Structure 1
Amino acid sequence: MQRRARHTRVFSRQHAGRRVTYWLGGILVGLIAVGFAGVADFVDLQRRHLIAAAGGWIMLLLAPSGLALSIWLTRRYAPGARGSGIPQVIATLHMTEPGQIDDVLSWRNAVGKVGLTLLGLFCGASIGREGPTVQVGATLMHLLGRRLGVVDGAARRALILAGGAAGISAAFNTPLAGIVFAIEELSHSFQSRTSGTMLTAVILSGLTSLAILGNYTYFGHAGATLPVGTAWIAAPLCAVAGGIAGGSFSALLVRMSGGIPGRAGRLAAAHPVLFAASCGLLIAALGLASGGLTYGTGYAQARHIVDGDAHLPAGFFALKFAASLISYCSGIPGGIFAPSLAIGAGIGGWVAHLLPHAAPGMVVLLGMAAYFSAVVQAPLTATVIVMEMTDNQQVTVALLATSFLAFGISRLICRRPLYGALARHFLRSLALARNPGDAPTLGSGEPPRHDARPAGSQLPPTRPPAAPHTP
């Protein structure tokens, strides 16, 4: 009994030390997310100052050169920082080889993710910082666990999941959305062994953001409601428009992540830096056509639409859609969360013009939830994140109905969830790097085999369904 008591005391001290370290990790994720957001806003402001001083045509030089530099730095120094960051986190949750996880969730990739995302924002790319924050948060918690000697696979996955959820919580100041996103999108489950670590990290990162920035909401306070009656027609209209647009966006990204067809794919495979510069030129052209509205995250435009302070052109969401698609296909680091919310707000603003009896602010929220739900195919996350970002709980039922209907429409267009499919392509690219003869070259236009899985991965194979079905 004495030996057992001594063992219990030592065991408790070890666990107490780990808990304190994990708490510090959650606080650090919050600090990094807040600092990242502040620097991103500063970079966006500097780009706007540059355009005001030198004219909009300066972007024809800045965007191509900036994207070319970004992809060169990414490929040379931080190949794991490419893209959103969320597919990388999902991929590591299904890896069994610790060395592979260390390669993806490394300090080099995390620092590169932040720096290169900021470079992309300065050059006008239509990208967001929320996805990169998820990868940085997961990296921080993983490295803390490695420092503490965590070798158990379940405990390691719990830390990665907690870091990703904390990143979303602090980036948007939406703790509930961080938890729901981790359950619905990152892990697709809720286990008792991971729940405590994840909840603690989310709470502490959210409190850190709250302590520094105050009790703010991402898009302010939207008090609009949707009374029962004719105004409820806005829900199916936004769901259809957002579902078709979001499902198409996801399908295009999934297709292009497996290889861009035609001459563009051959250019991307043979000359990725030149291809990125070409994408930058297209982004600059879209920015000139929109009067600069398509540059950056789209946060300012979305907030103006939600508040009703500005009436953007009806084609804003289409131009932003194209800019976001091109930015992601260029291969530079950057997420799609914030641009998706901006596109959804544009869709809601367009639908609001067709419904004079509905409150415009409410229709905009429905459009945001519909498009976001259709892109990531996570309707609960879309509902919670829009509700928390606008501090409006009166519209929960309408947001739920719109999000799930848009999700169903998106599944008819894109059979596989976006982040899961991108995670599989990421794992596939790791296998190609080790054994180049195992699969077709990316960019050749030939999609990868659906039954192939890289070594060290537990991610189930993806096979297209035999026949269409109703989700």
Structure 2
Amino acid sequence: MSKDRVAHLGDFTLTPAVLRVIAWAVPVGAVAAVAALGLQRLIGLVTHLVFFGDAGSSLAAPGAGHPAAWLILLAPVAGGLIVGLMARYGSEKIRGHGMPETIEAILVGGSRVAPRVAILKPLSAAVSIGTGGPFGAEGPIIMTGGAVGSILAQTLHLTAAERKTLLVSGAAAGMAATFNAPLASVLLAVELLLFEWRPRSFIPVVAAVATATMLRVPLLGGGALFPLHAVPTHIGAWPELLCVPAGVLGGLLAVAATGLVYASEDAFHRLPLHWMWWPAIGGAIIGVGGLIEPRALGVGYDVIDSLLTGRGGMSLIVGILVVKTAIWSLSLGSGTSGGVLAPVFMIGAALGGLEAHVLPHVAPGFWALVGLGAVVGGVMRSPLTGVIFPLELTRAWPYVLPLLIGATAAYLVSALLLKRSVLTEKIARRGLHLSREYAVDPLEVLLVDEVMSSAPPDEETALVICIDDTLREAALQFAGAHVAVAAVVTREAPDVVIGHLTVEHLLEGRLRDLLAERHRERLITPLPTRPRATLSA
């Protein structure tokens, strides 16, 4: 095959226009970092006002001050009622944990987010979490950061693809500033939000995430969020093999929690009440759970730290595993405002803490970290994020192989047992379909001359395709010109028609892909065995 035939093609379709998007991604990342700080301070303020009676703004566990039983029971109800009112009379988009709404804005909304969502989402999340809601701040900050990027993009003369890039840049930057986890934030953007892995979007997202992470140090401090000390450099084959069953259990817990969330949502939909009242009912569930295990309330970073450092006792482990899973799943189905990552961290760490009483000892918090990565991989269906996130949270880099094994095993179980994750099921219930399998387009690797007809077209057509164009480029030209047939020429003689291409020819690329998926054949035949010699009589 001649090199000149593909000389005009490259690995990527990157143009200098990306430089403009990168330039705008930097301030988006900076604003998202400030928004992450503001949301954390707002959550802390509401928590202090409700449970401690002061005007502090640091993140605090609602149960740390031993509040009265009536306060534990009624505060989440009041918070749920306020969130319901904000959703009904402000914007219904603030309901839920943020990521499905962000995905929906990308899929069908042209990456447009209303400005009021950027204000109401963090406010509603602060009320929900600050009054005891067992949620994380990351979902709301992802939606808020995404709104920042989207609003800026809407003021500029950009394409929908460029708006998507700035929206995801803000979302990933907000997450990076919250957790000081830049690599995991970029991976989550690729695995869940961008729906592509292309330089045009990857590079601006990294620019925004890097900006937010650098600003995090003066705003929120540097270092690991949950640092682990005395991490062994050698784990051993036996504990690493046991990460497979640990990952399977994490995947099963992820499946159960996901099922519980949507069983709860179905139950709320059957209530003869307006959805505005549902978060208050979810708050009642939270309050009852808080009476049983007060440490299950709120964001719970202190509990996660205790579990990951091996300081969590059996009562805490069982309490979190049962109560946190129940109140998080059931109340999230009510449509209140709050994220999923911090609760998933806590539930996964509790599962690993329980497994540590059965599995061989490696180091304090080792199995808790494996459990955390497994449940993240199973719930989010983003295995690489499930590996890198725990590593960046703890800086326990020698645990990369155990986490890779555990998160992948959980991902396998979750993908086999569930059609959709806790993030995408909500989108499907709105009549939208999202495929999260990324592959090279078969039309991108075939050229026109491999499938074209050498006869001239039967009808006159003004659309002309070059013989060395890819079938993907041909499909784009067909769609843009609203035609089903094109004349084929060479670049050297663009006025000489040498054949034609039709939509049916494009199916050849899909057919080859189908055959690669379904046709089985044996390429190497085993050596024949000689028949055994028998003794004659």
Tell me the TM-score normalized by structure 1. 0.80
Give the deviation of 1:134 after TM superposition. Answer: 0.8
CA contact 2:149–2:170 (8 Å) conserved in 1: yes
1:416 and 1:54 map into 2 onto residues whose CA distance is: 39
Deviations 1:274-309 (A, max 9, x none): 43322211211111111x011011211111111233
Deviations 1:60-114 (A, max 9, x none): 222222212211211220211111111111112222x55xx53xx1221121110
Structure 1 residue aligned with 2:494:
none
Structure 2 residue aligned with 1:271:
274
Larger Rg: 2
Deviations 1:126-166 (A, max 9, x none): 1111011111111111111111222x122111112212221
CA contact 2:28–2:166 (8 Å) conserved in 1: no
Residue 374 (structure 1) aligned with residue 378 (structure 2) = yes
Q: Aligned match of 1:165 in 172, 177, 188? A: 172
Residue 185 (structure 1) aligned with residue 192 (structure 2) = yes
Give the deviation of 1:338 after TM superposition. Answer: 0.5
1:389 and 1:330 map into 2 onto residues whose CA distance is: 30
Residue 206 (structure 1) aligned with residue 216 (structure 2) = no
CA contact 2:30–2:215 (8 Å) conserved in 1: yes
2:170 and 2:142 map into 1 onto residues whose CA distance is: 7
1:31 and 1:63 map into 2 onto residues whose CA distance is: 27
CA contact 1:352–1:360 (8 Å) conserved in 2: no
1:196 and 1:418 map into 2 onto residues whose CA distance is: 28
Structure 1 residue aligned with 2:286:
283
Deviations 1:176-230 (A, max 9, x none): 0111101111123211211221111111111111232332211123443462144
Q: Aligned match of 1:84 in 55, 76, 97? A: 97
Residue 388 (structure 1) aligned with residue 392 (structure 2) = yes
2:373 and 2:341 map into 1 onto residues whose CA distance is: 12
Q: Which runs of 5+ in 1 are unaligned?
A: 1-10, 429-471
CA contact 1:242–1:367 (8 Å) conserved in 2: yes
CA contact 2:99–2:143 (8 Å) conserved in 1: yes
1:254 and 1:343 map into 2 onto residues whose CA distance is: 18
Residue 116 (structure 1) aligned with residue 120 (structure 2) = no
Residue 136 (structure 1) aligned with residue 139 (structure 2) = no
CA contact 2:224–2:394 (8 Å) conserved in 1: yes
Q: Aligned match of 2:304 in 293, 302, 305? A: 302
Give the deviation of 1:367 after TM superposition. Answer: 0.6
Q: Which has the higher helix share?
A: 1
Structure 2 residue aligned with 1:454:
none
Give the deviation of 1:125 after TM superposition. Answer: 1.1
* Counterpart residue type for residue 277 of structure 1: A
2:208 and 2:260 map into 1 onto residues whose CA distance is: 34
Residue 127 (structure 1) aligned with residue 130 (structure 2) = no
Structure 2 residue aligned with 1:449:
none
2:18 and 2:181 map into 1 onto residues whose CA distance is: 29
Give the deviation of 1:23 after TM superposition. Answer: 1.7
Identity of aligned residues (%): 25
Q: Would the alpha carbon gap of residues 27 and 81 (structure 1) be closer, same or farther in structure 2, given more than 3 Å must change?
A: same
CA contact 2:317–2:351 (8 Å) conserved in 1: no
Question: Greater shift after overlay, 164-173 or 379-388?
Answer: 164-173
Q: RMSD across aligned C-alpha pairs, in angstroms?
A: 2.5
Q: Would the alpha carbon gap of residues 15 and 54 (structure 1) be closer, same or farther in structure 2, given more than 3 Å must change?
A: closer
Structure 1 residue aligned with 2:475:
none
Structure 2 residue aligned with 1:433:
none
CA contact 2:44–2:130 (8 Å) conserved in 1: no
Give the deviation of 1:316 after TM superposition. Answer: 2.0
Q: Would the alpha carbon gap of residues 15 and 249 (structure 1) be closer, same or farther in structure 2, given more than 3 Å must change?
A: closer
- Larger RCO (CA within 8 A; separation ≥ 6): 1
1:140 and 1:409 map into 2 onto residues whose CA distance is: 36
Correspondence list, 1:203-352, <5 A = 203-225=210-232, 227-232=235-240, 234-254=242-262, 257=265, 260-261=266-267, 264-267=268-271, 270-290=273-293, 292-311=294-313, 312-352=316-356
Structure 2 residue aligned with 1:175:
182
1:353 and 1:171 map into 2 onto residues whose CA distance is: 32
Residue 70 (structure 1) aligned with residue 83 (structure 2) = yes
2:198 and 2:97 map into 1 onto residues whose CA distance is: 26
1:139 and 1:153 map into 2 onto residues whose CA distance is: 14
Q: Aligned match of 1:55 in 68, 74, 77? A: 68
2:393 and 2:247 map into 1 onto residues whose CA distance is: 19
Give the deviation of 1:48 after TM superposition. Answer: 4.3
1:58 and 1:415 map into 2 onto residues whose CA distance is: 40
